[in-house]
């Protein structure tokens, strides 16, 4: 199979050949074209999209497969379904359902390398806890992690206690990546967590107190530690443009990546909805999801393709740099995906985009060497 498109870094037209589910060759050709080509997007944090949510009690293997197919439509070829705080039965059931979906469909198995569990070992304080159910916030427990199942490959945890730091050390030794998030940990505890093996910060700048001491605080420490990669939600709502721009500069482009953190209302038309968590919410035309009658966010609704376009505007990035934040950089945490080079997985997309666009207009998507979207 051959896919052609313009290189976001140089503007030259590339011809990408695939064979056996991997990229066989990438070469420059003389023909011109209007579409861009890049690796498929890699999203490390997705609760749901287009009406599908892995956290619903009634979620099934079909729900998970539907989520993967919906994300293909917006260029995401690798996704970590993200299970949020709940009782142990809820988390175990959700992980098992995702495992069933992978077992039933090789395409789903390829799209989902493992599961991200966000919680329940988080801060119980207002602000850092976010919308996670306070009834189910509990101390970190490595035995519970083992009971969730082998498909869990990343856990977001707040390292505000010795037990949480011990958990990070044990989980890391077991091959599970740990991310710091929804925390009220002090700077010393943040550093100890990284010493213990924590590798990432979950949607840095969100899941935090509304008011912080100007210094020191847990945001500065995470930004300053070069051992931590950081995820950011660049939807134009979770972080103001100046905040996002400064945080991105502080963390450095090599250690930053974008996440959507989308919910089931991602990709849905504007309007009022009732959700199992939070009740009445309103989705605006510009993608802001808020609780009806309040200024408070009720989650994220924009796709990672939207986030790439927003990041360009918010932080004065080039298209190539913004794509790097949604492909190669997060790809490091899923076996090196998101690269446009021979030997890399044949996960690709072509899209239309020009400065000022609010999203990437995805036209063709190739997942594991097979065309799954063609417009």
Question: At 61, which helix (H) or strand (E)?
Answer: helix 61-72
Can you give the length of the chain in residues?
A: 375
HSE at residue 249, side-chain half, CA atoms within 13 A, is 10
The answer to whether the CB of 355 falls within 8 A of the CB of 319 is: no
What pLDDT score does 340 carry? 97
The CATH homologous superfamily for domain 39-338 is Metal-dependent hydrolases (3.20.20.140)
Is 112 buried (19+), middle (13-18) or exposed (0-12) by CB count in 10 A? buried
- In angstroms, rounded to a whole number, what is the distance separating the alpha carbons of residues 207 and 127? 6
3-state secondary structure of 59: coil
219 has pLDDT over 90? yes
248 has pLDDT over 70? yes
Read off the pLDDT of each residue in 222-235 and give the average, rounded to a whole number.
Answer: 98
HSE at residue 123, side-chain half, CA atoms within 13 A, is 22
278 has pLDDT over 70? no
Question: Dihedral of CA 334/338/341/346: which sign?
Answer: positive
How far is residue 222 from each of residues 179, 198, 228, 236, 260, measured CA to CA in Å? Answer: 11, 11, 7, 22, 20
Residue 342: closest CA among 23, 58, 73: 23
What pLDDT score does 277 carry? 57
Q: Edge to edge, what strands does the sheet with 271-275 contain?
A: 271-275, 279-283, 289-291
What pLDDT score does 274 carry? 84
Phi-psi region of 38 (alpha: psi -120 to 50; beta: other; left: phi over 0): beta
The answer to whether the CB of 20 falls within 8 A of the CB of 26 is: no
What string of DSSP letters covers 184-217?
A: ---HHHHHHHHHHT--EESSTTSSS-SS--SSS-
Structure tokens at 244: 């996002």
pLDDT single digits (tens) 115-157: 999 999 999 999 999 889 999 999 999 999 999 999 999 999 9
The answer to whether the CB of 317 falls within 8 A of the CB of 258 is: no
pLDDT single digits (tens) 163-197: 999 999 999 999 999 999 999 999 999 999 999 99
Residue 198: closest CA among 156, 238, 236: 156
- In angstroms, rounded to a whole number, what is the distance separating the alpha carbons of residues 152 and 135? 22
Radius of gyration of the chain (CA): 20
What pLDDT score does 276 carry? 63
- Residue ranges covered by each domain of the chain: 39-338
Q: 77 or 281, which is more confident? A: 77
Residue 315: closest CA among 222, 253, 231: 253
How far is residue 353 from each of residues 1, 2, 37, 39, 366, measured CA to CA in Å? Answer: 24, 21, 11, 15, 18
What pLDDT score does 291 carry? 84
- In angstroms, rounded to a whole number, what is the distance separating the alpha carbons of residues 345 and 347? 6
| Average of per-residue pLDDT values in the chain | 96
pLDDT single digits (tens) 341-374: 999 999 999 999 999 999 999 999 999 999 999 9
pTM exceeding 0.95: yes
The answer to whether the CB of 350 falls within 8 A of the CB of 36 is: yes
What pLDDT score does 295 carry? 75
Torsions phi, psi for 45 (to 5 deg): -150, 100
- Strands 152-157 and 115-118 turn out to be parallel
pLDDT single digits (tens) 195-218: 999 999 999 999 999 999 999 999
316 has pLDDT over 70? yes
Q: In which band, very low, low, confident or very high, does the pLDDT at 296 lie, cut at 50, 70 and 90?
A: confident
């Amino acid at each position: 199979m051959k896919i052609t498109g313009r290189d976001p870094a140089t503007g030259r037209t590339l011809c990408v050949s695939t064979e056996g589910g991997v990229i066989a060759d990438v070469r420059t050709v003389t023909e011109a074209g209007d579409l861009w080509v890049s690796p498929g997007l890699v999203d490390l944090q997705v609760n749901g999209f287009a009406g599908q949510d892995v956290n619903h009690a009634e979620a099934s293997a079909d729900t998970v497969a539907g989520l993967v197919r919906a994300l293909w439509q917006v260029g995401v070829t690798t996704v970590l379904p993200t299970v949020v705080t709940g009782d142990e039965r809820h988390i175990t059931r959700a992980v098992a359902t995702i495992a069933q979906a992978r077992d039933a469909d090789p395409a789903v198995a390829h799209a989902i390398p493992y599961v991200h569990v966000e919680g329940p070992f988080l801060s119980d304080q207002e602000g850092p806890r976010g919308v996670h159910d306070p009834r189910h916030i509990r101390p970190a427990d490595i035995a519970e992690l083992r009971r969730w199942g082998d498909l869990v490959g990343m856990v977001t945890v707040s390292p505000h206690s010795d037990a949480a730091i011990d958990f990070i050390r044990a989980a890391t030794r077991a091959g599970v990546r740990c991310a710091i998030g929804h925390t009220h940990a002090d700077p010393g505890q943040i550093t100890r967590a990284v010493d213990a093996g924590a590798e990432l910060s979950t949607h840095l700048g969100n899941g935090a107190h509304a008011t912080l001491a100007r210094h020191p605080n847990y945001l500065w420490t995470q930004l300053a530690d070069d051992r931590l990669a950081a995820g950011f939600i660049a939807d134009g709502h979770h972080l103001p443009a100046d905040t996002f721009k400064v945080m991105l500069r502080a963390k450095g482009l090599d250690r930053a990546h974008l996440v959507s953190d989308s919910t089931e209302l991602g990709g849905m038309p504007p309007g009022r909805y009732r959700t199992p968590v939070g009740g009445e919410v309103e989705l605006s035309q510009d993608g802001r999801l808020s609780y009806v009658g309040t200024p408070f966010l009720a989650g994220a609704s924009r796709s990672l393709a939207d986030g790439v376009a927003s990041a360009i505007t918010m932080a004065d990035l080039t298209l190539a740099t913004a794509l790097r934040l949604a492909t190669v950089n997060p790809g490091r945490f899923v076996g090196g995906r998101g690269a446009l080079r021979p030997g890399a997985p044949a996960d690709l997309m072509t899209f239309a985009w020009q400065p000022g666009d609010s999203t990437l207009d995805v036209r063709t998507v190739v997942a594991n060497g097979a065309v799954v979207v063609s417009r």
